[in-house]
Structure 1
Amino acid sequence: MTGEASERGAAAVEFAIIVPALGLLIALTIGTARVWYAQTVVEQIAGTSARAASLARTAPEARLAAERIARAQASTTGLNCAALTVDVDVGGFRVPVGQPAQVRSRVACSVPLADLIVPGWPGQWGLDAEATSVLDRYRRRG
């Protein structure tokens, strides 16, 4: 057998091995980018809800404002949270005026893997973020 005859079909075999590997690499890159984007959105929601809470006059208003803005922002960004929870620490409203105080917002979101990686893929990916916003030192707190 000559050397030329023994290499027949080698290109097809190489192609059959390389193309699926490249496809898998591209799919993995896209999936990673989508998870990163979802985490970034959750961090943005946490920051926005903490800021909304810090602008409120009272602790109950702060909780309500943070919850409302978090849900609104999750829907406008297109993040499909199966379960969105917003936990706001409003202990800063008890700090006397003139002393530094802050509010903290923690946002947790469970995103279906079918929305992130592969359509039809079962399961959920848990994302969470926390943000802090300072209260105005000299504004009356309720």
Structure 2
Amino acid sequence: MTATSSAGGWRGRLREDRGSEAITTAIVAPLLLMLLCTAIAGGRIVTSGSKVDAAAEDAARAASISRTHAGAESEASAAAARSLNDQGIRCASTSTSIDASGLAVPLGQVGTVTVTISCTVPLSDLLLPGMPGSKTMTSTFTSVVDAYRSREG
């Protein structure tokens, strides 16, 4: 009799647990969805940062090849925009700052051109509570100007 009553008690407990899977799913599913969205946001931030780094490198190289200060600014801005567009990054706002003072050094001396790019990456489309609407990524790159290349600036 003891075995029967304990087995009946076990079956009774199983019947009392019906619906607990639905409750567990209702609690766990939103948490897993938020974790997934957070991972996607983190991935977007990391890849956007590396793309902004590459754009800064391209812009600095384009500016260092230029012969004039005005040409360096226009070439750097165009190269940065082209690089960001080619990589598929969509910035809510972009700014490019160029220090082309290295083009003014005399021939035979090495100068540098430094470009800083800031890109505001939107994150609001992920719809995560507590997640900021955007993240500003900034990158700076310095490129060497050829010491024996003619320049006007």
| TM interval, short-chain normalised | 0.7 to 0.9
For 2:29, what is the secondary structure of its paired residue?
helix
- Whether 1:54 aligns to 2:64 is yes
For 1:84, what is the secondary structure of its paired residue?
strand
Unaligned stretches of 5+ in structure 1?
Answer: none
Pairwise CA distance, 1:122 = 8.0
TM score, norm. by length of structure 2: 0.80
Amino acid in the other structure paired with 2:109: Q
CA–CA separation in structure 2 for the residues paired with 1:118 and 1:10: 29
Identity of aligned residues (%): 33
Pairwise CA distance, 1:21 = 1.4
- Whether 1:81 aligns to 2:91 is yes
| Higher mean C-alpha displacement, 5-14 vs 46-55 | 5-14
Pick the structure with greater CA Rg: 2
Please name the residue that 1:102 is paired with.
112
Pairwise CA distance, 1:140 = 2.1
Q: How many residues align?
A: 140
Moved over 4 A (4+): none
Pairwise CA distance, 1:84 = 1.3
Q: Deviations over 1:95-118 (max 9, x none)?
A: 222222110000011233235x34
Unaligned stretches of 5+ in structure 2?
Answer: 1-8
CA–CA separation in structure 2 for the residues paired with 1:134 and 1:94: 13
Select which of 78, 81, 85 maps to 1:71: 81
